[in-house]
Structure 1
Amino acid sequence: MTALIIDTDPGVDDAFAIALACSSPDVDLLGVTTVFGNVGLAMTTRNALRILALYGREDVPVAAGADRPLVYPHPHRARYVHGEDGLSDRSNLLPERATGVAGTDAVSLLARLLEEAPEPVTIVPIGPLTNIALLLAAHPGARGKIERIVIMGGGIERGNVTAAAEFNIWSDPEAARRVLAEEDVPTVLVPLDLTHRCAVDAAWLDSLAGSGERGRLLVELTATYREFYSRTLGRDGTVVHDAVAMAEAISPGLLATETYAVDVECAHGPARGMTVADRRGAVARELSGVDDGREVAVAVDADLDAVREFLLSRLSS
């Protein structure tokens, strides 16, 4: 059984990731915290509650977190990808949850859940890393209760919101740098280079829609998102970035990783939010005298059909 906490900014692919955790019998979902990102905090929190309601998870505590980055304003949301409400303007298709947000903030809930957990916990941040940076800064003792952090974010060869930067990292580069380059916590980074390769096609989506009411509703939520990705991919399909990271969190080793020293560009300019992965290897870094960034496991490859099958089988259950 994998004990998980999800930090999220739903978002269509976030919805798939939360659904995957809820659909997995080998997951103990301890809590969900929300952050600004794809849309504003009020909407990401509302969406998280509704996705949990779809799966009957009244028991999972939800707490709202950061509504802005650590330092600089967030330039814009991702409504052109996810719709005005974050779920292709179809969030009202989902049920309301009877249980509202917990009477505490996200960082306090994260700290409490970690403290109370009998075993170390996997944290899965699939939005901007503001809440996680604040947790590690304010509660340094929490590190010992974290099994690993599995992050969807970054791009090694490319960006998506800019030529250099992936959206989650770009949304708060200072927070991302704190988590990726400065903290000594076992970390897996699942970048968009790999998540794009795990894109699902129309047949996959049709299979999920035909699996039952929950699957049908998940596919309904992809309308705006699917249109965007169909245009950018050049074929009917979509990229469920966050669900790929969640799959690795649930089934460690599903994705093949390599260890790189990682840093995040925080300067203002065209490279802001860029994830810089030093792929020279430890010996070359040492000999060069330039060895910046701590080492993290970066997902670089996978059996793509196996990943798609893992997602479909769990989400269809």
Structure 2
Amino acid sequence: MCPKTISIWDLTSVKLIIDTDPGIDDALAIAYAALHPDIELLGLTTIFGNVTTAQATRNALYLAEKMGLSIPVASGAEKPLTLPPFAPKTRVHGLEGLGHLPAPAPTGTASPLAAAQFLCEMAERHRGKLVICPIGPITNIARALQMDTNFARNVDKIVFMGGALDVRGNVSPYAEANAFHDPHALDVVLASGANVTMVGLDVTLKVLLDEQDFSHIATRKHPVGPFLKELGAFYLDFYKSIGLSGCGLHDPMAIIAALYPGLFTMESMALEAVMEGEASGQTCRSQSKTRLPSHVALGCDADAIRHTFFSVFDQ
């Protein structure tokens, strides 16, 4: 495991696309990626989940502008591969996905390319170097795999936030929310042979942010801190309502795992997603003889992850 004094300047540049449904923890993940000196954020693709796809695209454009980014934002699928559409649960992220804030009005517009096409073209352009971090339902990545038979080989790795292997789900006893909202897409990705890492509830609830943490972010050098604190207040209220003292660092941990896998205890195993019945969305070990293994984060160095997350706000 990497030492707790790991530096955010220890990496070579990582070419990254975040597939996102912003969402408060998505905003934290995008901020981390935008501020990290070794991440070249090539774009955002959007998906339903915390919000509708239209809201996700609008929020992604707004967050990119808020972070001072000039990057493409490509709008993605509006519903799961097979299941009917889901209505967002507004009590978690707010009516518009950004806590108490009203609908933002970004000045930019989305890419003319749909998310899956954008992902395929970027994977081809940056063959063997592109990292994709899906932090919402993984539908866009499944569509890219179906669109381009070379996509799984073209990407360097896919590090997704989702799933719950050995712990209880958060939308059912079995399923984590992102997996639950498109288990068919998740199974396509897990069966693809791509280099896949799952960062799910087994680790993301081991790192919690509380009011003091958001106040700390707000006092650091970067001016985005007070904005994130405002979002965090809404998110913390939800977590308090379900009996937790802080909010999970869910989506940022996928970005951190893509950069610093040594901060996690990883196991390799074939995985599959349950696609029907009361356990729909459950991620479990597969008995398939042909399915290639994925990496699964089952433990983490919580102190080092917190240090790495906070450090980007001091630049």
Q: Greater CA deviation, 304-313 or 219-228?
A: 219-228
Aligned residues, how many? 301
Q: Deviation at 1:226?
A: 1.1
Between the aligned partners of 2:86 and 2:115, the Cα distance in structure 1 is 23
In structure 2, the residue matched to 1:73 is 84
After TM superposition, list the pairs within 5 Å mapping 1:1-317 onto structure 2: 1-58=13-70, 60-90=71-101, 96-117=105-126, 119-156=128-165, 157-180=167-190, 182-211=191-220, 212-235=222-245, 237-267=246-276, 269-277=277-285, 291=289, 293-317=291-315
SS at match of 1:45: helix
Q: Deviation at 1:222?
A: 2.1
- Counterpart amino acid of residue 305 in structure 1: D
Between the aligned partners of 1:185 and 1:193, the Cα distance in structure 2 is 22
Q: Deviation at 1:162?
A: 0.9
TM-score by length of 2: 0.90
In structure 2, the residue matched to 1:281 is none
Between the aligned partners of 2:272 and 2:243, the Cα distance in structure 1 is 29
Between the aligned partners of 1:120 and 1:213, the Cα distance in structure 2 is 31
Consecutive unaligned residues in structure 2, runs of 5 or more:
1-12
Q: Deviation at 1:188?
A: 0.6
- The C-alpha deviation readout for 1:146-179, integer Å capped at 9, x for no partner, is 1110000001121001111000000011001111
Between the aligned partners of 1:118 and 1:105, the Cα distance in structure 2 is 20
SS at match of 1:257: strand
SS at match of 1:140: coil
Q: Deviation at 1:119?
A: 4.7
Consecutive unaligned residues in structure 1, runs of 5 or more:
279-284
Tell whether the 8 Å contact from 1:87 to 1:222 is kept in structure 2 after alignment: no
Note the aligned Cα RMSD (angstroms): 1.7
Q: Deviation at 1:229?
A: 1.0
Matched residues, percent identical?
A: 37
Tell whether the 8 Å contact from 1:187 to 1:297 is kept in structure 2 after alignment: yes
Tell whether the 8 Å contact from 2:214 to 2:232 is kept in structure 1 after alignment: no
Between the aligned partners of 1:233 and 1:304, the Cα distance in structure 2 is 20
- Counterpart amino acid of residue 116 in structure 2: V
Between the aligned partners of 2:65 and 2:130, the Cα distance in structure 1 is 23
Between the aligned partners of 2:142 and 2:259, the Cα distance in structure 1 is 22
- The C-alpha deviation readout for 1:98-142, integer Å capped at 9, x for no partner, is 431111111111111112226521110000011000000111112
Between the aligned partners of 1:110 and 1:12, the Cα distance in structure 2 is 23
Tell whether the 8 Å contact from 1:215 to 1:316 is kept in structure 2 after alignment: no
- The C-alpha deviation readout for 1:17-46, integer Å capped at 9, x for no partner, is 111110011011111100111110111111
TM-score by length of 1: 0.90
CA distance 1:80–1:292, change in 2 (3 Å): farther
